[in-house]
Amino acid sequence: MGDTGRSLRGRRVAILATHGVEEVEYSQARAAAEQAGAEVHLISLDPGEIQAMNHDINPAGRHRVDRTVDQAEAADYDALVLPGGTVNPDRLRMNPAAMDFVRAFFQQDKPVAAICHGPWSLVETGIVRGRRVTSYPSLRTDITNAGGTWVDEQVVVDNGLVTSRRPRDLPAFCDKMVEEFAEGRHERRLATA
């Protein structure tokens, strides 16, 4: 990860993930936020631990859940990270409380960073409408059908929303994530409410 020269000291960052999260997308995004000084919490569907994966099929680390979505409030956090893995965001998008949590960050004009399949949550909540985003290429049709403009770029920033395509984009993703999180609130972020 590069040094953006931006501090997240005194800020709280939520990472929303569940079983099947891509290990490197979770761990590197978390490390970048923590190295910049943020307090980071793993928010998930159930208490206990979640099982991360490598490439969707190989078990990786297990990570302790700090709060469930039923216990967490977007108002308690300054920013949100949505890592990918195919299974993780597919499970999250089926949970109304998780999608309400994501939507609340946008309603409160707070920065959000999503990588790989993480933008599925943005599709599910209607957040991509009118926005320029990237993702894993297989989400292109979903994003387009949801009213977003999909582009094939390493990292895309659209008024506080940071998106990237895949794990090899993590250095650029993490740098922009920290930069946007350091900037804080981005008003008038919703194309439609």
Cross-strand pairs, 162: 113, 157
> Distance between alpha carbon 3 and the CA centroid of its chain, in Å?
20
In this predicted model, what pLDDT tens digit does every residue of 134-155 receive, in sequence order?
999 999 999 999 999 999 999 9
Whether 8 contacts 32, CB under 8 Å: no
Whether 167 contacts 22, CB under 8 Å: yes
pLDDT averaged per 10 residues, the chain (length 193)? 68 98 98 98 98 96 98 98 97 98 97 98 96 98 98 96 98 97 74 40
Catalytic residue of the set 19, 117, 174, 186: 117
Catalytic residue of the set 19, 55, 63, 116: 116
Alpha helices in 62-193 (DSSP H): 87-93, 96-107, 120-125, 140-145, 170-183
Pairing mode of beta strands 161-164, 155-158:
antiparallel
Q: How far apart are CA 132 and CA 129, in angstroms?
A: 9
Active site residue 116: yes
Q: Which domains does the chain have, with CATH numbers?
A: 12-183 (3.40.50.880)
Structure confidence at residue 185 (pLDDT): 84
Q: How far apart are CA 184 and CA 22, in angstroms?
A: 26
Provide the whole-model pTM. Answer: 0.93
Whether 14 contacts 80, CB under 8 Å: yes
